[in-house]
C-alpha cells in the first residue's frame, strides 16, 4: 500500500483511508494506493464490504494541484482507471464523505456503490470554473444519481450542494452524525449480502421529451455563459449520458475535455487559478516568516470605504473600532453598514443572527484615542498627502507598539506617509477596492522600510478576510490605478476623435469587461478622478490628458451619487441612460480644441483600451513595482472587472502575440496624441525574442 492510502480491516469491512493532506488531492501515490487497497479487499474472502474514507474535514478536493503540468498527473493509474477498478470490484464500496468531495473527489465517490456523509459536507463538480468539465465520468454518473436539470446546474455553475440536499436527490444514501468512520462501518454492515448496482448501470434521471429538454437547456446555458465554451460542452456530455450507452458517453466526455484543455478560455482560467496562489509568494519573505497576532482592528473614517473595510473585519470575526470626527458621519456610516448586511439577509445569504453578531463586533467612536489597543489600524481618510500625514502623526503617538499602521491610499507615496512616524517599519499600504466589502482585490503596498513580518502578517490577514492580496511597490497609482489612468486617458481621447461614451462602453463590454470606462467612472465618482487629474497637471508637466472629463466634472456631474455624470440616472436606479447634454458638452469641447472627428471601429476601441493597460503593465513589471506578470493579471481580474476567460491583460497579450501587440502600439503612436504610446522597453524586448510576459 502507498503511504498516501492506509488499509485496515474492521469486522469484515476493509477500510481504505485517504491520507494526502491538506485536501486529499488525487495525486499518483494516492490513486495507486486506492487501487492497491481495492484489489487487496477483493482478494480477501473475509472482507464483505469496503469503506473509502478521507478525514472529517476532507474526503478529497480532486486533482492534486502539486502535480498539475507534471508527468505524474498522467501516470497510471489515472482517475478513470481507478473508476474502472471500482466498477470491477464485486464487493459493495461505501464512500464516507466528510468536509467536501469536489471535482475528482466526487467522481471517486460516484465510482462507489453507496455514499454516506457528515452534515454540512459539500459535494460538487467545479471544473467549469477552470474552463473544463468533469473528466472521469462525472458528466455521465451524476445525471444517473441526481435529476438531470439539477445535475446540469451543478456542473455548469460549478457550485456545490450540501449533504442534506444531496440526500434529498439520492446522491447521498445517509447523513451520519458523530464519528464518520463508525457511521460508515455501521452503514456498510447493514448492506452486506444485499444486491447493489454500479452507478454506471443506472438509468439517467430525465423524464419527458429528451430532445426538447436539451434544446431548452442549451439555449439557457448559452445565454448565461457567454464567452465560456465549457458550459455548453457539459450540456453536450449530459445529453450523451441521456441518449448513449455509458461507455459511449464517456468517449464524448473525453473528447470534450481534450477540446477544452486546448481552448484559450480554459488556459486563461487555469492561469487565473495558479496566479491567485502565487500572489503571496514573495522571494525575500519566506513562508515561515513569523507573523503578528491580529485580534483587534481599527478603521479611521466611516465613509463608504471605511465602512466597507470595517465589514471585512467583522465578517472574519475580528472586533473593529471605527472612528470619525462627527456623530452624523458615524451614524451615516453605521446605517450604511447595517443596510448592506440587511440586503444580504433579505437575499437569504446571511442569517439575522449572524448579522447581529457582525454588527456587535463594530464599535463606533468619536474618540481617536480608543484605537490605542488595536493590532492594526487602517486609515481611510481623504486622499490628500497632508491629511494622511497628519493622521499618521497622531496615530504614531496613540497606537500601541507592535501594531501595524496601514493606509488605504489609492495613489499616494506610502514612503512619505511612513516617514512622519517614528516606526516606518510598521507602516504598509492596504489599498481596498470599492465597494470594499465586496471586491476581492487588496493591493498590499510594500514601502522601503516595511518590515518583513508586517508584510507577511498583512498578506495572511488579507486571506483571512477573504481578499486576494497582491503586493505592489511604491509608485504613483501602484499597479491597478497606474494602469487604469492610461485606460482612462485613451477613453477620453476616443471621445475627442469622434466616439460617444456609450459607443466606447458598449465595445469594451461586448469584448468582455464588466463595464465600460464611462459607466465605471460614474460608479466610482467623477470628482475623484478630477481631483487626481488636477494634481497631475501641477506635478507632471508631461501629463497629457483630454480635458473633456474636466468639463463634465466642473458642472457638478459626479456620476451616480449626483444623478448625473457621463450618463443620467433615475432615482433608485443605477442603469446609465445616455444624455444629449453630454453630447453637446463633448461637441463644444471638440470645437474649442479645433478637433476633427472620424469614424472609429469597435476593434480599435478595444485595442486602444486594452493595449494601454498592457503597455503600462510592462513598464510596471520592468520597474519591479509588480513582482510577476501574473500579479498584474490578478489585480485586473479581481479588482477591475477584466473577463476571467481572457486571463488578465498580460496573459491576453501573450495569447494575441506580443509582436502583434507591439505593432498596433507603434501604429497608434503615429496617430492622435501619439506621444503617449511609447512602447515599453520590456514589451519591445520580449516581442523581438518571441517570448511572453508569463513565460
Q: How many CB atoms lie within 10 A of CB 369?
A: 11
Q: Alpha carbon 130 to chain centroid distance?
A: 12
Half-sphere exposure of 43 (CA within 13 A, CB side): 7
pLDDT given at position 412? 92
Q: Residue 424: inside a domain, yes or no?
A: yes
Report the length, in residues, of the chain.
695
Nearest to 188 by CA among 376, 14, 24: 14
pLDDT given at position 73? 78
Instruction: Express each pLDDT in 116-145 by its tens digit.
Output: 999 999 999 999 999 999 999 999 999 999
In this structure, are residues 129 and 155 in contact, taking their beta carbons and an 8 Å threshold?
A: no
| CATH code: domain of residue 401 | 3.40.50.720
Q: Residue 278: inside a domain, yes or no?
A: no
In this structure, are residues 427 and 419 in contact, taking their beta carbons and an 8 Å threshold?
A: no
Task: Kindly state the cell numbers that stand for 531.
Answer: 481631483
Residues 6+ apart with CB under 8 A from 358: 311, 314, 315, 341
Active site amino acids = 107, 127
Question: Do 402 and 516 fall within a single domain?
Answer: no
Q: Is the pLDDT of residue 2 over 70?
A: no
Question: Do 247 and 327 fall within a single domain?
Answer: no
Report the chain's terminal Cα–Cα distance, integer Å.
39
The reply to whether the predicted model has a pTM over 0.85 is yes
Question: Do 388 and 311 fall within a single domain?
Answer: yes
pLDDT given at position 536? 83
Instruction: Express each pLDDT in 152-188 by its tens digit.
Output: 999 999 999 999 999 999 999 999 999 999 999 999 9
H/E stretch holding 143: helix 138-145
Q: Is the pLDDT of residue 541 over 90?
A: no
Nearest to 37 by CA among 52, 57, 55, 20: 52
Structurally, the chain folds into a number of domains equal to 3
Omega prior to 77 cis, within 30 of 0: yes
Give the β-pairing of 468-473 and 441-446: parallel
Q: Average the pLDDT over each of 392-401, 409-418, 540-549, 578-587 and give the range with the smallest value.
A: 540-549
Q: Is the pLDDT of residue 571 over 90?
A: no
Task: Kindly state the cell numbers that stand for 304.
Answer: 463608504
Q: How many CB atoms lie within 10 A of CB 507?
A: 21
Domain end call among 239, 259, 279: 259
Alpha-carbon distance of 122 to 101, in angstroms, equals: 6
Please give the average per-residue pLDDT across 361-370, as a whole number: 97
Q: Residue 281: inside a domain, yes or no?
A: no
Q: Residue 567 pairs with which residues in a beta bridge?
A: 578
What is the biggest distance separating any 2 CA atoms in the chain, rounded to whole angstroms? 93
Residue 284 sits at the vertex; the CA angle it makes with 286 and 22, to the nearest 5 degrees, is 30
pLDDT given at position 462? 98
Instruction: Express each pLDDT in 462-491 by its tens digit.
Output: 999 999 999 999 998 999 999 999 999 999
CA distance to 279, 489, 533, per residue, from 546 (Å): 35, 7, 10
Residues 6+ apart with CB under 8 A from 23: 58, 60, 61, 100
Q: Average the pLDDT over each of 45-59, 284-298, 415-429, 520-534 and give the range with the smallest value.
A: 520-534
Alpha-carbon distance of 213 to 235, in angstroms, equals: 11
Please give the average per-residue pLDDT across 601-626, as a whole number: 98
Alpha-carbon distance of 80 to 387, in angstroms, equals: 62
In this structure, are residues 620 and 482 in contact, taking their beta carbons and an 8 Å threshold?
A: yes
What percent of the chain is helix, strand and coil (3-state, nearest 5)?
55, 10, 35
Using a 10 angstrom Cβ sphere, with 0-12 exposed, 13-18 middle and 19 or more buried, the burial of residue 12 is middle
Please give the average per-residue pLDDT across 312-329, as a whole number: 97
Residue 626 has phi, psi (to 5 degrees) of: -110, 145
Question: Do 375 and 429 fall within a single domain?
Answer: yes
Question: Do 364 and 450 fall within a single domain?
Answer: yes
For the chain, helix (H) and strand (E) counts, in that order, are 28, 19
Question: Do 594 and 645 fall within a single domain?
Answer: yes
Alpha-carbon distance of 314 to 311, in angstroms, equals: 5
pLDDT given at position 1? 56
Mean pLDDT, the chain, whole residue set: 96
Task: Kindly state the cell numbers that stand for 5.
Answer: 492510502
In this structure, are residues 97 and 117 in contact, taking their beta carbons and an 8 Å threshold?
A: yes
Domain end call among 207, 233, 259: 259
Please give the average per-residue pLDDT across 283-305, as a whole number: 96
Question: Do 151 and 198 fall within a single domain?
Answer: yes
Instruction: Give buried/exposed letters for 301-318 (b at 16+ CB in 10 A, else e).
Output: bbbbbbbbbbbbbbbbeb
Q: Average the pLDDT over each of 67-81, 93-107, 225-239, 621-635 and give the range with the smallest value.
A: 67-81
Residue with cell 491538506: 22
In this structure, are residues 216 and 238 in contact, taking their beta carbons and an 8 Å threshold?
A: no
Alpha-carbon distance of 350 to 465, in angstroms, equals: 16
Q: Residue 363 pairs with which residues in a beta bridge?
A: 321
Task: Kindly state the cell numbers that stand for 330.
Answer: 458615524
Q: Residue 284: inside a domain, yes or no?
A: no
Task: Kindly state the cell numbers that stand for 658.
Answer: 506580443
Confidence of residue 542 (pLDDT cuts 50, 70, 90): confident
Instruction: Express each pLDDT in 22-31 by its tens digit.
Output: 999 999 999 9
Q: Average the pLDDT over each of 34-48, 80-94, 351-365, 536-550 and give the range with the smallest value.
A: 536-550
pLDDT given at position 434? 85
Question: Do 460 and 570 fall within a single domain?
Answer: no
Using a 10 angstrom Cβ sphere, with 0-12 exposed, 13-18 middle and 19 or more buried, the burial of residue 75 is middle
Q: Residue 674 has what DSSP assignment?
A: G
Q: Residue 573: inside a domain, yes or no?
A: yes
Alpha-carbon distance of 434 to 441, in angstroms, equals: 10
Please give the average per-residue pLDDT across 324-348, as a whole number: 96
Question: Do 69 and 214 fall within a single domain?
Answer: yes
Q: Is the pLDDT of residue 358 over 70?
A: yes
Q: Residue 272: inside a domain, yes or no?
A: no
Q: Where are the alpha helices (DSSP H) in 192-263?
A: 210-224, 230-243, 246-261
Q: Residue 279: inside a domain, yes or no?
A: no
Residue with cell 489612468: 485
CA distance to 385, 432, 445, 461, 468, per residue, from 442 (Å): 21, 5, 9, 10, 6
Instruction: Express each pLDDT in 9-25 by its tens digit.
Output: 999 999 999 999 999 99
Domain end call among 477, 502, 529: 477
CA distance to 96, 161, 249, 669, 685, per residue, from 112 (Å): 10, 19, 19, 62, 54
Q: Residue 349 pairs with which residues in a beta bridge?
A: none
Question: Do 106 and 129 fall within a single domain?
Answer: yes
Question: Do 314 and 404 fall within a single domain?
Answer: yes
Q: Residue 201: inside a domain, yes or no?
A: yes
Question: Do 89 and 124 fall within a single domain?
Answer: yes
Alpha-carbon distance of 471 to 632, in angstroms, equals: 10
Q: Is the pLDDT of residue 397 over 70?
A: yes
Residue 149 sits at the vertex; the CA angle it makes with 148 and 153, to the nearest 5 degrees, is 110
Q: How many CB atoms lie within 10 A of CB 604?
A: 18
Q: What is the DSSP string of 344-395?
A: HHHTTSS-HHHHHHHHHTEEEES-GGGGTT-SEEEE---S-HHHHHHHHHHH
Task: Kindly state the cell numbers that stand for 634.
Answer: 490578478
Question: Which residue range forms the structural domain that includes residue 493?
Answer: 481-689
| CATH code: domain of residue 186 | 3.90.226.10
In this structure, are residues 33 and 76 in contact, taking their beta carbons and an 8 Å threshold?
A: no
CA distance to 26, 145, 348, per residue, from 184 (Å): 21, 20, 33
Alpha-carbon distance of 126 to 476, in angstroms, equals: 39
Amino acid at each position: 500500500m502507498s503511504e498516501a492510502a492506509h488499509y485496515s480491516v474492521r469486522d469484515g469491512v476493509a477500510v481504505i483511508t485517504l491520507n494526502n493532506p491538506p485536501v486529499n488531492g488525487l495525486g499518483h501515490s494516492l490513486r495507486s494506493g486506492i487501487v492497491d487497497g481495492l484489489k487487496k479487499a477483493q482478494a480477501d474472502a473475509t472482507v464483505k464490504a469496503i469503506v473509502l474514507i478521507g478525514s472529517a474535514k476532507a474526503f478529497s478536493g480532486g486533482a492534486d494541484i502539486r502535480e498539475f503540468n507534471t508527468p505524474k498527473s498522467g501516470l497510471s493509474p489515472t482517475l478513470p482507471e481507478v473508476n474502472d477498478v471500482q466498477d470491477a470490484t464485486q464487493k459493495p464500496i461505501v464512500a464516507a464523505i466528510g468536509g467536501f468531495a469536489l471535482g475528482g473527489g466526487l467522481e471517486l465517490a460516484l465510482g462507489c456503490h453507496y455514499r454516506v456523509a457528515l452534515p454540512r459536507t459539500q459535494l460538487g463538480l467545479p471544473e467549469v470554473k477552470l474552463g473544463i468539465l468533469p473528466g472521469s465520468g462525472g458528466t455521465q454518473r451524476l445525471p444517473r444519481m441526481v435529476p438531470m436539470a439539477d445535475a446540469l446546474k451543478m456542473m455548469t455553475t460549478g457550485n456545490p450542494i450540501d449533504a442534506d440536499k444531496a440526500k434529498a436527490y439520492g446522491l447521498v444514501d445517509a447523513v451520519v452524525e458523530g464519528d464518520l468512520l463508525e457511521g460508515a462501518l455501521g452503514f456498510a454492515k447493514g448492506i452486506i449480502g444485499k444486491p447493489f448496482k454500479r452507478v454506471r448501470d443506472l438509468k439517467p434521471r430525465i423524464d419527458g421529451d429528451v430532445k426538447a429538454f436539451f434544446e431548452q437547456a442549451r439555449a439557457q446555458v448559452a445565454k448565461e455563459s457567454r464567452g465560456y465554451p465549457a458550459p455548453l460542452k457539459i450540456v453536450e456530455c449530459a445529453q450523451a449520458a441521456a441518449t448513449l450507452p455509458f461507455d459511449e458517453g464517456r468517449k464524448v466526455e473525453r473528447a470534450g475535455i481534450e477540446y477544452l484543455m486546448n481552448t484559450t478560455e480554459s488556459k486563461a482560467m487555469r492561469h487565473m487559478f495558479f496566479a491567485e496562489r502565487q500572489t503571496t509568494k514573495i522571494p525575500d519573505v519566506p513562508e515561515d516568516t513569523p507573523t503578528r497576532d491580529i485580534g483587534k482592528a481599527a478603521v479611521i473614517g466611516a465613509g463608504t470605504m471605511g465602512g466597507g473595510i470595517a465589514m471585512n473585519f467583522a465578517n472574519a470575526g475580528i472586533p473593529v473600532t471605527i472612528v470619525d470626527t462627527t456623530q452624523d458621519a458615524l451614524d451615516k456610516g453605521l446605517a450604511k453598514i447595517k443596510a448592506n448586511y440587511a440586503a444580504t439577509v433579505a437575499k437569504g445569504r446571511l442569517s439575522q443572527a449572524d448579522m447581529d453578531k457582525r454588527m456587535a463586533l463594530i464599535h463606533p467612536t468619536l474618540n481617536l484615542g480608543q484605537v490605542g489597543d488595536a493590532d492594526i489600524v487602517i486609515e481611510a481618510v481623504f486622499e490628500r498627502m497632508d491629511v494622511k500625514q497628519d493622521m499618521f502623526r497622531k496615530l504614531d503617538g496613540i497606537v500601541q507598539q507592535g501594531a501595524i499602521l496601514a493606509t488605504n491610499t489609492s495613489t499616494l507615496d506610502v514612503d512619505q506617509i511612513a516617514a512622519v512616524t517614528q516606526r516606518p517599519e510598521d507602516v504598509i499600504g492596504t489599498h481596498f477596492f470599492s465597494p470594499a466589502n465586496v471586491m476581492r482585490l487588496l493591493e498590499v503596498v510594500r514601502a522601503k522600510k516595511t518590515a518583513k513580518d508586517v508584510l507577511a502578517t498583512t498578506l495572511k490577514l488579507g486571506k483571512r478576510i477573504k481578499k486576494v492580496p497582491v503586493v505592489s511597490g511604491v509608485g504613483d497609482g501602484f499597479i491597478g490605478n497606474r494602469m487604469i489612468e492610461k485606460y482612462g486617458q485613451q477613453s477620453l481621447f476616443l471621445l475627442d476623435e469622434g466616439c460617444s461614451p456609450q459607443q466606447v462602453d458598449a465595445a469594451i463590454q461586448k469584448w468582455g469587461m464588466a463595464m465600460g470606462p464611462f459607466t465605471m467612472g460614474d460608479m466610482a465618482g467623477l470628482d475623484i478622478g478630477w481631483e487626481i487629474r488636477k494634481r497631475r497637471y501641477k506635478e507632471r508637466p508631461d501629463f497629457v490628458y483630454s480635458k473633456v472629463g474636466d468639463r463634465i466634472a466642473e458642472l457638478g456631474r459626479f456620476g451616480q451619487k449626483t444623478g448625473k455624470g457621463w450618463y443620467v440616472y433615475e432615482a433608485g436606479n443605477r442603469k446609465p441612460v445616455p444624455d444629449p447634454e453630454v453630447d453637446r458638452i463633448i461637441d463644444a469641447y471638440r470645437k474649442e480644441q479645433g478637433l476633427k472627428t472620424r469614424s472609429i471601429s469597435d476593434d480599435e476601441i478595444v485595442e486602444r483600451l486594452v493595449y494601454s493597460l498592457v503597455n503600462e503593465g510592462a513598464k510596471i513589471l520592468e520597474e519591479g513595482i509588480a513582482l510577476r506578470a501574473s500579479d498584474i493579471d490578478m489585480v485586473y481580474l479581481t479588482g477591475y472587472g477584466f473577463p476571467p476567460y481572457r486571463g488578465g491583460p498580460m496573459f491576453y497579450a501573450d495569447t494575441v502575440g506580443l509582436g502583434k501587440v507591439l505593432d498596433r502600439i507603434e501604429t497608434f503612436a503615429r496617430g492622435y496624441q501619439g506621444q503617449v504610446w511609447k512602447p515599453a522597453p520590456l514589451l519591445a524586448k520580449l516581442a523581438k525574442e518571441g517570448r511572453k510576459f508569463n513565460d
